[in-house]
Amino acid sequence: MNKWSKSMLLSSFVFVAACVTINVYFPAAEVESAAKEFVEDVLREDSDTPTDDQSSVFDEVSVHSIAAAINPINWFIGTAHAQADITLSSPAITALKNKMIERMSQSLRSHLDSNVIGFTNTGLVEVIDASQLGLKDRQALKKVVADENRDREALYREVAIANNHPEWEEQIRAAFVKQWIGQAKSGWSYQNASGQWVKK
């Protein structure tokens, strides 16, 4: 191998190494705290579904925005922080969240309490043991679980997109997995990392 090709090889390693170091910053802590809040809202037992979620979202944000708008310095700081300010409040996300809150209080919670369903390690819900239910209820449960999982899949994707990083979907899902399991009530079932069902 001549000098030239050696140096080419070396420089290509340097190039590859340089490429690897270019990483998109994933705000893990921010995503986790946003996911934490979201899951808290869904699992909260006395939660009433907000009837007019859009306006409440607006109030919160607009107060912030107007306050920021008054002071140009705040405004600039606000923009600088925007990258890490994980948002979970686009109209699509809010609509999904409200459906999930409603479903949780209407049926999922009681099924979680009786260990009929549990949280999977992929951020979904799954039927573990439906033997206590009548046959018609088992079919109804399949629908509820399928509905919830469709909403959850859409949620993880919409959160990634609302934050301008569709490629974060899997990391966002992982943050939610941690929260669903972390905030599960004791006695509820969840799937551990190796796929086994365990009771909390």
**Residue among 7, 11, 12, 54 that touches other proteins (CB under 8 A):** 54
Please tell me what DSSP assigns to residue 198.
E
Contacts to other proteins from residues 58-97, by CB under 8 A: 58, 61-62, 65-66, 69-70, 72, 75, 87, 89-92, 95-96
> In this complex, which beta carbon is closest to other proteins, that of residue 32 or of residue 158?
158
Residue span binding other proteins (CB under 8 A) among the ranges 28-36, 37-45, 147-155, 167-175: 147-155
Contacts to other proteins from residues 3-32, by CB under 8 A: none
**Residue among 34, 101, 108, 158 that touches other proteins (CB under 8 A):** 158
57 binds other proteins (CB under 8 A): yes
**Residue among 2, 23, 131, 186 that touches other proteins (CB under 8 A):** 131
176 binds other proteins (CB under 8 A): no
Q: Determine how β-strand 197-199 pairs with β-strand 189-191.
A: antiparallel
CB of 32 to other proteins, least distance (A): 20
CB 119 within 8 A of CB 184: yes
Alpha helices in 104-168 (DSSP H): 109-113, 135-162
Q: How far apart are the first and last CA of the chain?
A: 61
**Residue among 162, 169, 182, 200 that touches other proteins (CB under 8 A):** 162
Q: Is 126 helix (H, G, I), strand (E, B) or coil?
A: strand
Residue span binding other proteins (CB under 8 A) among the ranges 30-38, 148-156, 173-181, 183-191: 148-156
For 147, residues 6+ apart whose C-beta sits below 8 A from its C-beta are 99, 103
Cross-sheet strand order for the sheet of 189-191:
125-127, 117-119, 189-191, 197-199
Q: Cα separations (Å) of 76 from 14, 68, 81, 122, 129?
A: 37, 9, 9, 38, 54
147 binds other proteins (CB under 8 A): yes
CB 129 within 8 A of CB 115: yes
The site for other proteins (CB under 8 A) is made up of: 54-55, 57-58, 61-62, 65-66, 69-70, 72, 75, 87, 89-92, 95-96, 127, 129-131, 134-136, 138-140, 142-143, 146-147, 150-151, 153-154, 158, 161-162
